[in-house]
Amino acid sequence: MALYSNFQFGKNDSNHISLIRYSKTACGVDFLLNTADQTEKLIWCDKYKNFKTDFFEFFFFRKTNGYIIINGEIHFLRDNTLLCISPYQHQEWHVDMDSLEYTFLVFQEEFINNFLADKYFMYRLLYCYQNDYPTYFDISESEAKELLDLLSQMKRELTNPIADSYHMIVSELYSFLLHLNRIFATKFNLPARLPVNNYAFIYKDLLEKNIRYKTKVNDYASMMGISRMALNKAVENEFGVTATHLLKQRRLQEVKKDLIFSELPVKEISVLLGFSAPNHMMRFFKQLTGKTIGEFMNEINTQGFT
């Protein structure tokens, strides 16, 4: 069974990136969520070379092959692993979809935001909207079972929905996301402290929406109506890194994304991303990755296709 009925396909002609939008399904209530195994084919992974989605994606891989490129990072697939993809990440799947064995969860943020008063909930999760830790990692059988049991419960509600199915599914999704957050925090030895305020999460939200146009921490502090010092303190309290570090890592992601997917020359990319000159972007890239842009592209064009 293919999932075309649940999704709308668009095209961003300027970057040759296909955009897959999740559309509502009619099941008595409007669900912006689905979970299933490989028998429900994710056709866009085969249909489109370069694409991005407007929803969250989680994959529990049992049997794998090939590799996936996400925002310039190559992930060689391994059995018994978990992949988390936040919305609008540029993707290329170099796999034989028919031979994969996996369980997936996809949902649009609106699905859970309609239920929660905390609109920054997804930004609080350690594995979402971040660039410092891998979102593709090994997962133990016991960890996977706990999460997959929740997905099975969601699927039962999706298959036979009744009046309170939305509330049941969203409560199971909430539990799934929090359980995964604990697993992620333990795996990478990250703190799970209560937030003092929302400044760090607002900052992450603004970075996602403005990184191509706003390139200084002061820009974001001004947008938020707080001092740079207050913003930096909030970011360090929540994520253990500086506001500048988050901005640079997010900006680097945009550089990698454009280098791989836009087919634009380095000079034009540097202009689009607010660098005063191409050599400034090249120096920025080398400082953060230890590689020249040429070395990075050679790695993508050779290592990725071996």
Per residue of the chain (306 residues), give pLDDT as tens: 445 456 565 554 445 678 888 876 533 345 789 999 999 877 777 777 789 898 999 999 999 999 999 988 889 999 999 999 999 888 999 999 889 999 999 998 888 887 877 778 888 898 988 888 899 999 999 999 999 999 999 999 998 888 888 889 999 999 999 999 999 999 998 876 666 678 998 999 999 999 999 999 999 999 999 999 999 999 988 887 899 999 999 999 899 989 988 889 999 999 999 999 999 999 999 999 999 999 988 887 775 443
Rounded Cα–Cα distance for residues 123 and 299 (Å): 31
* Other beta carbons less than 10 A from residue 26's beta carbon: 8
pLDDT tens digit string along 153-180?
999 999 888 888 888 999 999 999 999 9
Q: What is the pLDDT of residue 9?
A: 57
Which domains occur in the chain, in start order?
4-187 (2.60.120.280), 199-305 (1.10.10.60)
Q: What is the pLDDT of residue 305?
A: 43
The residues, any chain, with a CB within 8 Å of residue 105's CB and separated by 6 or more, are: 33, 34, 35, 56, 57, 58, 151, 154, 176
Long-range contacts of 185-191 (CB under 8 A, 24+ apart): 185/126, 187/137, 188/126, 188/133, 190/126, 190/133, 190/240, 191/240
Q: What is the pLDDT of residue 129?
A: 82
184 to 60, 159, 181: CA distances (angstroms): 14, 30, 5
DSSP characters for 131-172?
SSS-SEEE--HHHHHHHHHHHHHHHHHHHS--TTHHHHHHHH
Q: What is the pLDDT of residue 11?
A: 53
Structure tokens at 192: 């799970």
Q: What is the pLDDT of residue 48?
A: 76
Residue written as token pair 């195994």:
37
pLDDT tens digit string along 125-139?
989 888 888 999 999
**Angle, helices 278-289/243-261, rounded to nearest 10 degrees:** 110
**Do 140 and 192 meet the contact criterion of CB atoms below 8 Å apart?**
no
Torsion of the alpha carbons at 60, 66, 67 and 68, rounded to the nearest 10 = -70
**Do 89 and 129 meet the contact criterion of CB atoms below 8 Å apart?**
no
Report the DSSP pairing between strands 51-53 and 73-76: unpaired
Q: What is the pLDDT of residue 302?
A: 72
Q: What is the pLDDT of residue 14?
A: 42
Q: What is the pLDDT of residue 182?
A: 93
Q: Is the pTM of this model over 0.85?
A: no
The number of CA neighbours under 13 Å toward the Cβ of 66 is: 14
